[in-house]
Structure 1
């Protein structure tokens, strides 16, 4: 069994650079398929220097009996167990404990992280355009909150798509002031019907800039 932090949402290459508050951990676990009849969840517990108790992050198996689990967690500037967020500072490390069978801790992986000049430049660039935070909670069964940032007052669209690329719902389609904003999605489509369990994508378009992320509904 092994756990790897990947470079991006394609899960093709392991992370080689450093991370910073606001970045996303793309976590991939390779292990045993403990229930071959279903697409199973797996659990990782992430702890860091500022947060010795850690948070739980659910990973979802990529298919029946694949034994390959994937999920995401967002790095914050500070820890908050109540809101299930992991925080870190320069040169801290993250300890990821992976549970495939819920009763057994299978492996431990250390991920070194830090903040360098390149990372600061990336953060400044993000603040100038638009940036989507990972929705919380994720996965979710009822409602979830999406937080985003735009660098200037601009017409903004925030849309939800299903895994087939079909538009599920438009949450925002109006001018938005610069700064950090958030909105709640109740897990319903434009007709008011609750959507099915599965993988969905939310996309932010702010002027000529855009950003997108993945979220999971489990009902």
Structure 2
């Protein structure tokens, strides 16, 4: 629960496994399962019924296609999916006791490719998503050539509160996630923060809002 799956060109041909424990009907009646996927924002729901196994495989390509449709409508490259399993004997339906569970899919790597080599033409820092956020947000950035890159988060008083990265990055479309904590893992207060990326040839600053 709470895991993040980064979908890239390397794994987009795979599947996401959703698995659960088997249920046994006391009368010996065969049990079927229903799994429902609830999209947190924007709200949406999909359900698969009549499942006789205790696992469901969802192609990552299908998830990317769905995120792509959301992104074209103005949403970001990530989506939070809360999933819940129900067991049914044809008469009664029981909700799984250890659910619902939430998983985040990030398709920024898969959808951010602008050419066949997967290398951007220019440096870029993108607006974080979601924004405002709680508890985690994703910041995407593009690096056209090998560079030493530093990304920091500052409060409105200009004090650095978190270093998200500080090292050599290879060319490509990248993303980093921030959970609203400082460098020692302490949760920060709600409010506006500034994130800044800097390399030898590029500097950019954007604002984000942490809302609890």
* TM-score for both structures, normalised by structure 2: 0.45
- Structure 1 or 2, whichever has the larger Rg, is 2
| Higher RCO (Cα < 8 Å, 6 or more apart) | 2
